[in-house]
Amino acid sequence: MPDVKDNKDKKDKTLNDAQATIGKKQKTPEMKDAQEHHEKPPNAHFAKEVSMYLVFGVLTTLINLATYSVLVMLGIHYGIATSAAFVLAVFFAYETNKRFVFDSVKATAREESRQIAAFFSSRVATFGVETAGLVLLIEVFGAGEQLSKYLMTAVVVVLNYVLSKHLVFKK
């Protein structure tokens, strides 16, 4: 015959377990999977990725501007200076995005070649989008040049992130 004390102890333990979970956020399958693999939950990973993307984007911009300025001061034509600055900045952006933003350092040589080609192609494409957008905003809609540049820069930053994440460094 079961002991009444054992049943009471089991009920107390069940009640204590239930009370301990009240008020706690339930973990989604993604959170449990991330925890098992010592990864951050999806939203924390996304926040880190975006913040790193923005930090290295600012550094890329500074490299572009500094390279352009130095070359122009050395007497290099602005067209050549801006082209050289663009290439150097895109290489810097590729390396930092690969290593620190999208964690894609384990690519094979073939995959790395594909990534480089896709990265440069996407940056040239978004440069075209920016240029076309500037013409449209300034020439067609009569928007101010500075405002147009800021708007198109925001569009390009988002496009570059999306293309890098889903085309260049896709997992």
**Which own/partner contact pairs does 44-49 have at CB distance under 8 Å and 24+ positions apart?**
49/101, 49/102, 49/165
Q: What is the mean pLDDT of residues 5-19?
A: 59
Identify which of 15-24, 26-35, 131-140 has the greatest average pLDDT: 131-140
What is the tally of structural domains in the chain? Answer: 2
pLDDT tens profile 54-103: 999 999 999 988 998 999 899 998 889 888 989 999 999 999 999 999 88
In a domain, 120, yes or no: yes
What tokens appear for 13 in the block?
């333990």
Range scoring the smallest mean pLDDT among 40-44, 79-83, 137-141: 40-44
The answer to whether position 5 is within a domain reads no
Say if 9 falls within a structural domain. no
Assign 60 to helix, strand or coil: helix
The average confidence (pLDDT) of the chain is 82
In a domain, 148, yes or no: yes
Q: For the residues of the chain, what is the DSSP string, one character each?
A: ---HHHHHHHHHHHHHHHHHHTTSPPPPHHHHHHHHTT---HHHHHHHHHHHHHHHHHHHHHHHHHHHHHHHHTT--HHHHHHHHHHHHHHHHHHHIIIIIS--TT--HHHHHHHHHHHHHHHHHHHHHHHHHHHIIIIIS---HHHHHHHHHHHHHHHHHHHIIIIIS--
Of the three residues 89, 118, 140, the one that is the final residue of a domain is: 89
In a domain, 16, yes or no: no
Residues 38, 76, single domain; the answer is yes
For range 38-61, the mean pLDDT: 83
**Residue 100 falls within a domain, yes or no?**
no
Residue 26's pLDDT is 54
Q: Which domain holds residue 40?
A: 27-89
Q: What percent of the chain is predicted at pLDDT more than 70?
A: 76
**Does 6 fall in a domain?**
no
pTM of the full predicted structure?
Answer: 0.65
CA separation for the pair 65, 85 (Å, rounded): 7
